Chain A
Amino acid sequence: MHIYINDTKYEVSENDTIIQVADRNEIHIPRFCYHKRLSIVASCRMCLVDVEGAKYPQPACSTLVRDGMKVNTTNTSASQAQKNTMEFLLINHPLDCPICDQAGECELQDVSLEHGDYKSAYNEIKRTVIDKDIGDLVSTEMTRCIHCSRCVRFGEEVAGIKELGMTGRGEETKIETFINQGLSSQLSGNVIDLCPVGALNNSLYKYSARTWDLKQTSSISSNDCLGSNIFYHTYKDEIKRCIPKEDEEINLSWLSDNDRFGYEGIKSDDRILHPLIRRGDNLEKTDFNTISDYLIESLKLYSKKSCGIMSAQSSCEEMYLFQHLLRENNIGKIDHRSKECDFRYQKNFPTIPSFDIKLSEIKNLDNIIIIGTNVSKEFPILSIYFREAIKNNDTSIFSFATYEFEENFPLKKSHVLNSQELADCFNTSTTETNVDIDKTGNNLIILGPAISYLSNYSNILNNISRYAESNNMKLSLLGDQANTSGAWAMGIVPHRLPGGVAINKTDKSGNYELLSDTDDLLVIYNLEPEYDFSDDNKILEKLKKSKANIFFSSYMTESIKKYAHIVFPLSTQVESSGSYINTNKKLQQYEKIINPLGESKDGADILLTICNSFDSSLTHEGVKKSIRAILAKINVNNNFVQIANLDNVKNSNFLEKIVIRNPNSSNPTLRRCNSLLNTHDNDDYFSIPLDKTVSDNDKIILNENNNKLKLTIKQKKHAKPINTVLVKIGGTHKEKIGAYNTEVDL
């Protein structure tokens, strides 16, 4: 089948529309309401083209191709139709291009340059619409709206939350949120890209630069393990905004709000700008040589009595060098699982945990069981794939979690269970699970990161793996940071070298403890003790007791100020280059976007300089090569983790506490993005079992491990799961919250 566009012959397939053929062959047809990932409404009439045989020009977006069809996009008939459409659109569109942020990349501006007259024939009063306050992330200028309804369709079809809608008719038509609500979807930022004019704008970018001044650099998102492809736009060495880079394997044309607005924190006042060393009670400025020497000396001095804990947000290069530095000094206790407390599973864990199937294959699944993650909040991009699966294949999705939440896709069934129930409900040896699914189908189990913080993680993992294997299902493990898969592959675990090579040691994995009393030296890399550890009481206690605390950090916190002996100023991800391994085991490189603030330095540079002091053969290129070689060698068939002779750690009669920190602030930079936190980090509550009472409605007092904890949280609920005190708090909650999962008394 073929058609002619402007007298050139093009091959087409049956269900193509004219605009799809034109886009494929780079023939420009102006459009406002058409978007390739949204449904077709043909409401703007901008894409009218001349079709031979048709009486009037036809909309290219909704006209299906016929064999031998002759289309002309530029002749008088087509261009006159486009000119008329544009003239009507401009009747009510303000002429404020000089202050509009869309100017320079505005489709309406381009078309009016092409077809427009320099004088308006319209002398009547233009329509004005009052702006709406729809949150801190998206600012509005509703007079500019041309009613293309892309944002409305995006909410209905992609984000799954109908937040924006069209009210009124004719001249009274308005885009509004229902009952003056703000946008709350984790994908809300995408309406900024979708808006073809300047009606919906990026609040952080507003009025700070012009589009023609911006320099575009591609990068990889550092906020979740999917590794979305993004473009940063910079001007005068400052990041002005972030937009998605099309990637058919990962983020399609979309971006989560965390990725889009997650750069705000890098300019925080907390940034550490100089190397620091402790003199008395204060940290004082010093130079890199002094603290590097201090580090090497301490590593030699405390050697086996040391512990290195690294954030899984670090790049593969940093990880490789970090473990190299520590292992060369006989330090084997290296870990990235700072939020976990149950490590009995580690020997059987896959060399590289991953999402077992390609994201594009999700749409072919029959059943999906999601355990312990609020997908639309933690992995918004993934939720788009789930919506597609439901639409495409009528996929049934089941959710098992420790707390109640809403998803932006329909769940067949959702269960709120405590940690013991979670382990039991997939225990194939005892009872049949509550999931009634067709086990012959194409099924997938997804295990979210929050499950790994539970104190019976190994039991849950074991039971689920057995369940999945016996029912021929696939198991996917989602990491809590951008490079969790990389951390496992690069040997940031105590029992494995890079590439998953097991270290032959007497088996102590049964009672491995991350922070044990024997550790005298702590090296903490890019983690904040207040927020990033499974028990904040314990780590602060440990920092007080240990003889030397060495921090690599981008941001200053109270505990670093108090306990650090030396601090290396790290540059943030956008200020350094490196690579991440995403959840599909794809190695993705990113480059430096802007220069580091102050004297802060790329972690890989700092570590390489230190490593070179005893091993001069290491180079950046060499490290990169090793990483590629390591990844190429790794061969993992499935994610099943089966552990023999596993004890059940929980006694179901006790009251347990489960802490859920808001996933919108999972790393130090996100915790400093104020606009993002204002929008997405505000649903704190604690819930107690139905049969328990507390005296105060916004205060909860807990006894755990001989500590008394007092938490002030705005909302109280009586809710499931049974025997559980659930504490759901914002990522930057200032009070101490104790262990993530432990036994407590009310």
Chain B
Amino acid sequence: MNKIIKFIKSLFFLEILKGLKITGQKLSKEPITIQYPEEKTPLSSRFRGLHALRKYPNGEERCIGCKLCEAVCPALAISIDTEERSDKTRRTTKYEIDLFKCIYCGFCEEACPVDAIVETGIFEYHFERRKDSVMNKLDLLKIGDMYEKEELKDRERNKL
């Protein structure tokens, strides 16, 4: 019996017609394909992309070198050295993130008591040399400067 049904189905191209029905339905609708890189999909305000170190509006770096992000990082991607700066505050002398190790889990962002380390919406980046994958403090602060506006916008959207 099964054999006969199978034979009839293949004789009248039933499977193909079924597929063509969906194609036909979609033909009349707006396509969802995006012309990347000219076009981009919208991102969540909580997207976890490239890292950045933020500053206060007066230009002072936020990071206080508490090393909580280093401690919480499951991939051991962050490494920090600290010292007492001349104004007697605790500051980092080294803040490095190895992007090859990072798994973009966002724990660092959550651990930070001063909202210094954040994960921005940047997801398009590449390295030309092996060592470039390790972001140092200057790089991170630069990205923080560039994306501060977007970051504030994201924070606004995240508010309940």
Chain A contact residues, CB within 8 Å of chain B: 98-99, 103, 206-210, 212-213, 236
Contact = CB atoms under 8 A, between A and B. Distances in A.
A210 B84 contact: no
A99 B67 contact: no
Nearest to B93: A208
Given A98-B113, A99-B90, A209 B68 contact: no
B71 A212 contact: yes
A207 B66 contact: no
Contacts of A236: 81
Interface string B63-75: 0111110010000
A207 B71 contact: no
A92 B44 CA distance: 41
- Among all A-B residue pairs, the 4 with the closest Cβ atoms: A98-B66, A207-B90, A99-B90, A207-B84
A69 to B, nearest CB: 42
Interface of B: 64-68, 71, 81-84, 89-90, 113-114
A206 B84 contact: yes
Q: Would you call the interface of chain A mostly helix, strand, loop, or mixed?
A: loop
16 contacts: A98-B114, A99-B64, A99-B89, A99-B90, A206-B84, A207-B65, A207-B82, A207-B83, A207-B84, A207-B90, A208-B82, A208-B83, A208-B84, A209-B82, A210-B71, A236-B81
A205 B114 CA distance: 23
B19 to A, nearest CB: 56
Nearest to B66: A98
Contacts of B82: 207-209
Nearest to B68: A98
Nearest to B84: A207
A226 B64 CA distance: 41
Nearest to A99: B90
Given A98-B66, A208-B84, A212-B71, 17 more contacts: A98-B64, A98-B113, A98-B114, A99-B64, A99-B65, A99-B66, A99-B89, A99-B90, A207-B65, A207-B82, A207-B83, A207-B84, A209-B82, A210-B66, A210-B67, A210-B71, A236-B81
A98 B68 CA distance: 8
Nearest to A95: B113
Which of A98, A103, A213 has the most C-beta atoms of chain B within 10 angstroms of its own C-beta? A98
Contacts of B83: 207-208
A36 B65 CA distance: 35
A560 to B, nearest CB: 32
Contacts of A99: 64-66, 89-90
A465 to B, nearest CB: 53
A730 B66 CA distance: 39
A307 to B, nearest CB: 46
Contacts of B68: 98
A197 B90 CA distance: 18
A272 to B, nearest CB: 27
Nearest to B82: A207
Contacts of B67: 210, 213
Nearest to A104: B71
A549 B108 CA distance: 58
B113 to A, nearest CB: 5
A397 B53 CA distance: 63
Contacts of B71: 210, 212
Nearest to B91: A207
A216 B128 CA distance: 40
Nearest to A213: B67
Contacts of B114: 98
Contacts of B65: 99, 207
Nearest to A141: B88
Contacts of A206: 84
Nearest to A236: B81
A98 B90 CA distance: 10
Contacts of B89: 99
B107 to A, nearest CB: 16
A208 B81 CA distance: 7
Contacts of A103: 66
A428 to B, nearest CB: 59
Contacts of A210: 66-67, 71
A129 to B, nearest CB: 15
A210 B80 CA distance: 11
A213 B76 CA distance: 13
A241 to B, nearest CB: 14
B114 to A, nearest CB: 8
B54 to A, nearest CB: 16
Contacts of B113: 98
B80 to A, nearest CB: 9
B8 to A, nearest CB: 68
A212 B70 CA distance: 11
Contacts of B66: 98-99, 103, 210
Nearest to B71: A212
A198 to B, nearest CB: 12
A120 to B, nearest CB: 15
Nearest to A235: B81
A207 B63 CA distance: 13
A734 B113 CA distance: 50
A238 to B, nearest CB: 10
A456 B132 CA distance: 70
A103 B65 CA distance: 13
A208 B65 CA distance: 9
A213 B83 CA distance: 15
A214 to B, nearest CB: 12
Contacts of B90: 99, 207
Nearest to A210: B67
A98 B89 CA distance: 12
A288 to B, nearest CB: 33
A735 to B, nearest CB: 34
Contacts of A213: 67
Nearest to A206: B84
Which of A99, A103, A212, A236 has the most C-beta atoms of chain B within 10 angstroms of its own C-beta? A99
